[in-house]
């Protein structure tokens, strides 16, 4: 156990994409620290399986089938959370879509879909949670999951890189606008997290996993629990004076110059 079992006691957290990968890692860490949870995403089978695992840990869990591209759907999921738990203290906008395609071959629809899930979905989550977060007795927390590639540029993923850069800007704005409501707004930027489908698709399936590894000073891929630890810290009392920050959790990858890991046309 990295944190005490009561580090998030009394809090209710809403996690989009909370049934898989990094989102599920955050959900498990939050459950271990005493939080009650809402998980929201599209696939009800995945949500139900995650709920069972979290309940076996002793957590109280609501799942709501939700597409974050719909502001009404997100508002409905927040409303259901308030009806079940009576409060909402943490919103984690983690849901995202992404796939590798060179910018010049990217269809207009591909661009729009990723911007819609990642950037628009994050905004809809923030807006839907605002009222409840401003009433949180713990000081509300809004966290969006970004990536270090947002500001470096992300060859092969122009849509996701641009969306994540937009998310970083959004969180800085919200930190300013919502500070007087006690809402702390931060991003967490993961590096390459080994126990996720994303890394499998973006790096392993593209044959660049070894190059990726070589670009990480700490010499290993991250784990979902590394991102979860940052999220618990930000949402606990220990994180109460942090807002407008981008917390990088990448083993130092953003400090190296050994390339982006993209196969590229001239390799
Ligand atoms: P993942 O397991 O594929 O998680 C993405 C989640 O988003 C899924 O649970 C999916 O659930 C949900 N989702 C997708 N579209 C949705 C929509 N329209 N509405 C609601 N939910 C939707 O991938 P991950 O790697 O854990 O990624 C989690 C976050 O970390 C993302 O923001 C990603 O950009 C970021 N990140 C990951 C890495 C990495 O190394 N993996 C690195 C940097 C940043 P459903 O299918 O049930 O909808």
Number of folded domains that form the chain: 1
Rounded mean pLDDT, 235-240: 98
94 Cα–ligand 1 center, Å: 6
| Residue span of the structural domain in which 74 resides | 12-241
In a domain, 260, yes or no: no
211 ligand 1 Cβ < 6 A: no
Rounded mean pLDDT, 242-249: 98
In a domain, 261, yes or no: no
pLDDT class of 266 with cuts at 50, 70, 90: very low
In a domain, 138, yes or no: yes
Q: Is 57 exposed, middle or buried (0-12, 13-18, 19+ CB in 10 A)?
A: exposed
- With beta carbons less than 8 A apart as the criterion, state whether 52 and 31 touch: no
266 Cα–ligand 1 center, Å: 30
More confident residue, 29 or 259: 29
Rounded mean pLDDT, 231-258: 94
195 ligand 1 Cβ < 6 A: no
CA proximity to 227, closest of 146, 167, 125: 146
- With beta carbons less than 8 A apart as the criterion, state whether 157 and 198 touch: no
Please name the residue that has the structure tokens 């923030």.
126
CA proximity to 101, closest of 263, 266, 267, 215: 263
- With beta carbons less than 8 A apart as the criterion, state whether 145 and 138 touch: no
Segment 175-230, tens digit of pLDDT:
999 999 999 999 999 999 999 988 877 777 777 778 888 999 999 999 999 999 99
Residue to mutate, 14, 22, 223, ligand 1, most ligand atoms under 8 Å from C-beta: 22
Taking the CA of residue 164 as reference, the ligand 1 atom at the shortest distance is 34
Q: How far apart are alpha carbons 150 and 122 in whole angstroms?
A: 15
Asked if residue 265 has pLDDT above 50, the reply is: no
Residue to mutate, 95, 123, 208, 246, ligand 1, most ligand atoms under 8 Å from C-beta: 95
CA proximity to 190, closest of 221, 233, 148: 148
For 215, phi then psi, to 5°, come to -90, 5
Rounded mean pLDDT, 121-130: 99
Say which CATH number the domain at 201 has: 3.40.50.720
Give residues with Cβ within 8 angstroms of 192, minimum separation 6.
199, 203, 212, 216, 221, 222, 250, 253, 261
- With beta carbons less than 8 A apart as the criterion, state whether 195 and 223 touch: yes
What confidence score (pLDDT) does residue 260 get?
A: 54
In a domain, 222, yes or no: yes
In a domain, 256, yes or no: no
In this structure, the residue with its CA closest to atom 9 of ligand 1 is 17
Q: How far apart are alpha carbons 36 and 9 in whole angstroms?
A: 8
Taking the CA of residue 116 as reference, the ligand 1 atom at the shortest distance is 18
Structure tokens at 25: 């890692």
Structure tokens at 230: 């940052």
- With beta carbons less than 8 A apart as the criterion, state whether 134 and 141 touch: no
Asked if residue 160 has pLDDT above 90, the reply is: yes
Please name the residue that has the structure tokens 């929201």.
40
Rounded mean pLDDT, 57-65: 98
Taking the CA of residue 149 as reference, the ligand 1 atom at the shortest distance is 43
196 Cα–ligand 1 center, Å: 9
Question: Across all residues in the chain, what is the average pLDDT?
Answer: 94
Taking the CA of residue 144 as reference, the ligand 1 atom at the shortest distance is 32
Q: How far apart are alpha carbons 147 and 260 in whole angstroms?
A: 13
In a domain, 76, yes or no: yes
Asked if residue 267 has pLDDT above 50, the reply is: no
Global confidence as pTM: 0.96
Segment 72-115, tens digit of pLDDT:
999 999 999 999 999 999 999 999 999 999 999 999 999 999 99
- With beta carbons less than 8 A apart as the criterion, state whether 167 and 146 touch: yes
Q: How far apart are alpha carbons 13 and 201 in whole angstroms?
A: 29
Q: How far apart are alpha carbons 10 and 75 in whole angstroms?
A: 22
What confidence score (pLDDT) does residue 210 get?
A: 83
Segment 165-175, tens digit of pLDDT:
999 999 999 99
In a domain, 104, yes or no: yes
In a domain, 262, yes or no: no
């Amino acid at each position: 156990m990295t944190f005490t079992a009561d580090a998030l006691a009394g809090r209710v957290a809403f996690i989009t994409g909370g049934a898989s990968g990094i989102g599920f890692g955050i959900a498990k860490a939050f459950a271990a620290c005493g939080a009650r949870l809402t998980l929201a995403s599209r696939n009800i089978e995945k949500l139900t399986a995650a709920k069972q695992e979290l309940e076996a840990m002793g957590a109280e869990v609501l799942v709501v089938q939700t597409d974050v591209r719909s502001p009404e759907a997100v508002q409905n999921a927040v409303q259901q959370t308030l009806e079940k738990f009576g409060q909402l203290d943490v919103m984690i906008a983690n849901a995202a879509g992404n796939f590798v395609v060179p910018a010049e071959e990217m269809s207009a629809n591909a661009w729009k879909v990723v911007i819609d899930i990642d950037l628009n979905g994050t905004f809809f989550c923030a807006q839907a949670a605002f009222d409840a977060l401003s009433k949180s007795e713990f000081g509300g927390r809004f966290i969006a999951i970004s990536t270090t590639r947002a500001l470096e540029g992300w060859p092969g993923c122009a849509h996701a890189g641009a969306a994540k850069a937009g998310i970083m800007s959004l969180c800085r704005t919200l930190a300013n606008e919502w500070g007087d409501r006690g809402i702390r707004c931060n991003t967490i930027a993961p590096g390459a997290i080994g126990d996720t489908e994303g890394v499998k698709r973006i790096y392993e399936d593209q044959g660049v996993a070894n190059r990726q590894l070589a670009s990480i000073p700490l010499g290993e891929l991250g784990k979902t629990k590394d991102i979860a630890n940052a999220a618990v810290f930000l949402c606990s009392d220990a994180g109460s004076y942090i807002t407008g920050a981008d917390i990088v959790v990448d083993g130092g990858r953003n400090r190296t110059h050994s390339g982006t890991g993209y196969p590229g046309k001239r390799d």
